[in-house]
């Protein structure tokens, strides 16, 4: 097998020998025992003549091809979410074009499921003068997505976080948008570890108080809520909220640290999945969910357990830079020919961080072609001053 010199946290180089690829079996087409969305990344166009910190250029062919790959593994696609660098390099016009293209591509894929991020990111928080302005911003995006035939994931709003003065403001905004939704939506509670601008969401920095407000919104609008995705990296809090959800409202875990146990569940229930890490570990996650569907919980945990250290590494603080690791995985596995991100965020993680990601991906059996992965890792290291 291939070997490679990798940097360590102590500033030295060590020889690392890769393992054989795990091989997770043929793609699974049947429904899983859990609803499973992968929040998908976008592939940047590395040849576009733009300033990457100021504009976004997308390789549409590779971006849509990756969504087909996720669909072939049994996943629904959560489109134009933060994994796609929404509001972090990907602007609203490009996001809407992404949604349009994904929905169009899905029409010829049997069983394809797509839900799309609806937010307020086309307006700057500083330009929002009132709660009614926030409502109008949400309405603009909701109408545009629904006009394409899309389902909504109601994303957290930086503008609402900046303008709201009380929990009642959140209840007003969500109540208005949910009342107008064509079909039940998925709410998204995104923690400030993913986006610092969302601190104090739901009107309080006390997460228990914030949860009460969120639950009131759900209970008041239960017929318009399919479920809620929580991205707080707090499994105990997710379970506590899951137990209090009204009948028929699903919990979608967004916990990239504790997903195996949350999806498997306990005696009182389980979480479905809407996860960014499923983009990076899709073959393993698909095989694990198939095992869970067959009632083989031991195999389910055996497959997913080695992916957790990788996920925790990719999502380590500053958590908002996790997109760098997700795209790096796609590059190592041949889904794109370059390690370039929207917004120039390939520079957001250190060389040592990427080297550890490589080790952990190999140990989880997630390097589909170890020789290709080693060659690509060497190319990245060479650019960063490490010759083999």
Q: Residue 64: enclosing H or E segment and its boundaries?
A: helix 60-72
Q: Is the dihedral of CA 275, 342, 353, 21 positive or negative?
A: positive
Residue 267 structure tokens: 């005696």
Domain 27-305 grouped into CATH 3.20.20.70 = yes
Residue with tokens 């990601």: 357
Helix residue ranges per DSSP H, 221-258: 235-242
Distance linking the first and last C-alpha atoms of the chain: 16
Where do the structural domains in the chain lie, given as residue ranges?
Answer: 27-305
In the block, which residue shows the tokens 């990798």?
A: 6
Residue 265: phi and psi, rounded to 5, are: 90, -175
In 96-173, DSSP assigns E strands to 114-118, 151-154
The pLDDT profile of the chain, 388 residues, written as one tens digit per residue, is: 789 999 999 999 999 999 988 888 777 767 999 999 999 999 999 999 999 888 899 999 999 999 999 999 999 999 999 999 998 999 999 999 999 999 999 988 778 899 999 999 999 999 999 999 999 999 999 999 999 999 999 999 999 999 999 999 999 999 999 999 999 999 999 999 999 999 999 999 999 999 999 999 999 999 999 999 999 999 999 999 999 999 999 999 999 999 999 999 999 999 999 999 999 999 999 999 999 999 999 999 999 999 999 999 999 999 999 999 999 999 999 999 999 999 999 999 999 999 999 999 999 999 999 999 999 999 999 999 999 8
- Return d(Cα 44, Cα 59) in angstroms, integer: 5
Q: Write down the residue that tokens 């990719």 correspond to.
A: 314
CA nearest neighbour of 228 among 196, 258, 169, 271: 271
Contacts of 65 (CB under 8 A, 6+ apart): 335
C-alpha to C-alpha distances, 237 to 203, 245, 247, 320, 354, nearest whole angstrom? 17, 13, 19, 21, 31
Query: For residue 52, what are its two tokens?
Result: 């990457």
Residue 168 and residue 239: Cα distance in Å, rounded? Answer: 25
CA nearest to 157, candidates 184, 181, 177, 183: 177
What pTM, to 2 d.p., does this model score?
0.96
For residues 74 and 33, the answer to whether their CB atoms sit within 8 Å is no
The pLDDT value given to residue 160:
97
Q: Which residues contact residue 119 at a Cβ distance below 8 angstroms, ignoring those fewer than 6 apart?
A: 86, 87, 138, 141, 154, 155, 156, 157
Angle between helical axes of 207-220 and 167-180 (0-180°, round to 10): 30
């Amino acid at each position: 097998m291939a070997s490679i010199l990798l940097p360590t946290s102590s500033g030295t180089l060590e020889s690392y020998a890769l393992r054989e690829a795990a091989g997770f079996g043929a793609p699974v087409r049947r429904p899983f025992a859990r609803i499973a969305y992968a929040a998908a990344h976008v592939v940047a166009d590395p040849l576009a003549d733009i300033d990457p910190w100021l504009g976004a250029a997308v390789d549409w062919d590779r971006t849509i091809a990756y969504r087909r790959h996720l669909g072939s593994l049994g996943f629904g696609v959560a489109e134009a979410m933060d994994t796609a660098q929404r509001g972090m390099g990907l602007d609203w016009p490009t996001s809407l074009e992404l949604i349009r293209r994904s929905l169009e591509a899905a029409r010829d894929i049997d069983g394809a499921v797509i839900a799309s991020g609806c937010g307020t990111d086309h307006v700057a928080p500083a330009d929002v003068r009132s709660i009614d302005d926030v409502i109008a911003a949400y309405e603009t995006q909701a109408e545009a997505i629904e006009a394409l035939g899309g389902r909504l994931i109601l994303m957290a709003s930086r503008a609402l976080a900046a303008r709201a003065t009380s929990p009642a403001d959140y209840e007003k905004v969500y109540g208005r948008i949910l009342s107008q939704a064509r079909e039940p939506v998925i709410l998204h509670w995104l923690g400030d570890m993913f986006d610092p601008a969302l601190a104090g969401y739901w009107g309080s920095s006390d997460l228990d108080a914030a949860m009460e407000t969120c639950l009131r919104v759900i209970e008041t609008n239960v017929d318009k809520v399919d479920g809620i995705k929580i991205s707080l990296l707090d499994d105990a809090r997710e379970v506590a909220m899951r137990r209090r959800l009204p009948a028929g409202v699903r919990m979608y875990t967004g916990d990239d640290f504790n997903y195996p146990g949350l999806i498997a569940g306990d005696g009182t229930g389980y979480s479905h999945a809407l996860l960014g890490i499923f983009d990076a570990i899709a073959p393993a996650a698909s095989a694990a969910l198939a095992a869970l569907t067959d009632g083989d919980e031991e195999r389910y945990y055996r497959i997913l357990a080695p992916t957790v250290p990788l996920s925790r590494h990719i999502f380590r603080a500053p958590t908002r830079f996790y997109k760098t690791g997700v795209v790096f995985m796609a590059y190592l596995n041949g889904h794109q020919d370059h390690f370039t991100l929207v917004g120039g965020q390939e520079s957001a993680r250190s060389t040592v961080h990427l080297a550890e990601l490589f080790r952990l991906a190999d140990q989880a059996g997630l390097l589909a072609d170890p020789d290709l992965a080693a060659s690509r890792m060497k190319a990245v290291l060479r650019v960063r001053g490490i010759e083999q």
